[in-house]
Structure 1
């Protein structure tokens, strides 16, 4: 009686080959984050009668590492930081055993449905959460025009 092949073993081998190729291409081992990878910042945008409020999660970023820009009807948020970690062995003169540096950046652009009063835009950052208040530009409401 012939032995049956395990169909899942071929799939597992394929996945292992793909992981090895990915590791070779990126210099990263499976499960590690890619250094210098630009990340996506999640945003909540809420509309009120006279303003929009955007709330963005930026954990680990200081406000000095974040920029907010409003041009035309677009809100742009960018953050960039470098993080350095060192481990030292106690009892010896300073001898670096491991040093890891990480560069992280996030960017996000949102199109806003109305014109914004760019002079009135405010931003506040607290505990890694950025809140941007975008007042609507007072646009003259439509008026009826008499025909002569």
Structure 2
């Protein structure tokens, strides 16, 4: 039985050609698996940023993985009790195609805009927030207000 011309030759070629009828299907399936693998992070934009939120008695710390992203393309904004990290990861294809006549045969690295908003149980003082980046990980440290620090206390459990 002869293979139809529009069918891919190998499984790995499914949807690689943008003119292929399988391209849109492959893109949707890849996105589904990306979401499943990442624990269904909130998506706002084209690119998913994975974050961790942790706390101590005195502060909340948010870390965001931003590999390959220029910090000049990232903004951290505070509004009341919300902190928003937004930015854009530029595609290597867009950056290099026109410069040196480069032709890409496969693009698997993600690119696009992103936005993650985290709401905290207190208003954030923007003057006290610190942000830094090391090895592609953005760390934002938010001190808790004094009244929040005193709200948490251990309660003794009595038996009987």
Shorter-chain TM-score: which interval?
0.5 to 0.7
How many Å apart are 1:121 and its aligned residue? 0.4
Equivalent-residue separation in structure 2 for 1:84 and 1:52 (angstroms): 34
How many Å apart are 1:66 and its aligned residue? 0.8
Equivalent-residue separation in structure 2 for 1:105 and 1:95 (angstroms): 25
8 Å Cα contact 1:54/1:131 also seen in 2: yes
- Kindly report which structure 2 residues correspond to 1:121-132, keeping only aligned pairs within 5 A, or say none: 121-132=129-140
- Kindly report which structure 2 residues correspond to 1:51-66, keeping only aligned pairs within 5 A, or say none: 51-66=59-74
Name structure 1 gaps, 5 residues minimum.
1-18, 88-93, 143-148
- Kindly report which structure 2 residues correspond to 1:24-103, keeping only aligned pairs within 5 A, or say none: 28=24, 30=26, 38-85=46-93, 86=96, 96=101, 98=103
Q: 2:117 aligns with which of 109, 113, 116?
A: 109
How many Å apart are 1:69 and its aligned residue? 0.7
Q: TM (normalized to structure 1)?
A: 0.59
Equivalent-residue separation in structure 2 for 1:69 and 1:95 (angstroms): 37
Equivalent-residue separation in structure 1 for 2:56 and 2:100 (angstroms): 57
Equivalent-residue separation in structure 2 for 1:128 and 1:117 (angstroms): 25
8 Å Cα contact 1:81/1:104 also seen in 2: yes
How many Å apart are 1:95 and its aligned residue? 7.7
8 Å Cα contact 1:38/1:107 also seen in 2: no
Cα RMSD over matched residues?
3.8
Task: Return the index of the structure with the highest Cα Rg.
Answer: 1
Q: TM (normalized to structure 2)?
A: 0.55
Between Structure 1 and Structure 2, which shows a larger proportion of helix residues? 2
**3-state SS of paired residue (1:59):** coil
Between Structure 1 and Structure 2, which shows a larger proportion of strand residues? 1
Equivalent-residue separation in structure 1 for 2:68 and 2:21 (angstroms): 30
Equivalent-residue separation in structure 1 for 2:102 and 2:86 (angstroms): 33
